[in-house]
Amino acid sequence: MKNLVPIKQLILSISDTLLTSVCYYALPIIGIPSSKSRSNRSKWLSEAEYLTVPKSFLAFLVGFIDGDGCISIKRDKDYVTFRLIISLHLDDISTINYIQSVLKIGKIYTYPSRKSPTVKLVFNKTELQEVLFPLLQYHGIFFLTKNRRTQYDLAMFILNNNVKLSSELIQTVPVIHKQPKTAKGYVNLPFFNDWIVGFTCGEGSFFIKQNNDGCFQLKQKLHFLLFDAFKLVFNTTRKITVDKELYAQFGVSSKSDVQNVINFFSFSGHHALIGLKFIQYSIWLEKLKNSSRYAKLNFPR
């Protein structure tokens, strides 16, 4: 009888075991990881720490990748692999450093001698397989632009089916996330507002025209439902324009529309603009404050 464990202690022990199990399986690896990459994790966060990465940051990151990233699928002779690349002008290296500082994954490459100096953040297959993609699945966050969705679906097919050879690829891969069928459906996505902030860092611009109009624009390949959703978020009736039958452009400049833009980026509690886009936005605000047309708007202090 002396070896019996008190019932309270036993319950606590079982509870701890269950909690540990839940935490362990909360962020499952996608597919079968390569044994060759097991030694590259010394700087990674723990699973518990990854689960505390803010959802707003992940939504921001996906929007940024939708705007200015690429999931590159490479066929090297008979083999296939992939990686995720974010490429920016070297002047915007603070954005790259910020993303890496949060996730503790990815490798930074700089190319200062190029005609246009460049910095790249590259996530390898293992980092996507064990950290980033599982985090996106855990939080229900997904890509919204056509090109990125297509790339992501193919990458997930490769992981889920342990594809090694290019001959194992199929013509049509399963769709991982169904997209909203209406503009309102995009607006109702719980991560959409933070996604817009990231997308703005990649594809947006704040500027003053020669006629002193203060403008905010978003531009990318045609995706009318997504751009109609921008109209709903910024509460405007401005028409979406089409450039060269290839690109959709959302743009506003009226006082009421500009105020809505300021409200969204400065007063709504979303993820902040970062890097060069934050600098561009700050300069834009200062010019608006000194404009006779926009001076009476409500600006952040």
Q: Give the domain CATH number at 241.
A: 3.10.28.10
222 within some domain: yes
Domain boundary among 115, 139, 168: 168
pLDDT > 70: percent of the chain: 90
* Helix, strand, coil abundance in the chain, percent, nearest 5: 50, 20, 35
Domain boundary among 168, 203, 232: 168
Query: What mean pLDDT is predicted for residues 2-30?
Result: 48
6 within some domain: no
pLDDT above 80 for 296:
yes
104 within some domain: yes
**Burial zone of 246 (CB within 10 Å; 0-12 exposed, 13-18 middle, 19+ buried):** exposed
Asked if residue 55 and residue 164 are part of one domain, the reply reads yes
Q: What is the mean pLDDT of the chain?
A: 90
Helix axis angle, 93-103 to 55-68, nearest 10°? 140
Asked if residue 149 and residue 85 are part of one domain, the reply reads yes
92 within some domain: yes
Which has the closest alpha carbon to 286: 256, 266, 257? 266
What range defines the domain where residue 269 resides? 183-289
159 within some domain: yes
Asked if residue 257 and residue 202 are part of one domain, the reply reads yes
197 within some domain: yes
301 within some domain: no
Question: What was the pLDDT predicted at 221?
Answer: 87
Domain boundary among 135, 168, 201: 168
Q: Given pLDDT bands bounded at 50, 70 and 90, which one contains residue 28?
A: confident
For the chain, what is the domain count?
A: 2
Q: Given pLDDT bands bounded at 50, 70 and 90, which one contains residue 40?
A: low
Beta strands in 179-269 (DSSP E): 204-208, 214-221, 241-243, 247-252
Asked if residue 234 and residue 141 are part of one domain, the reply reads no
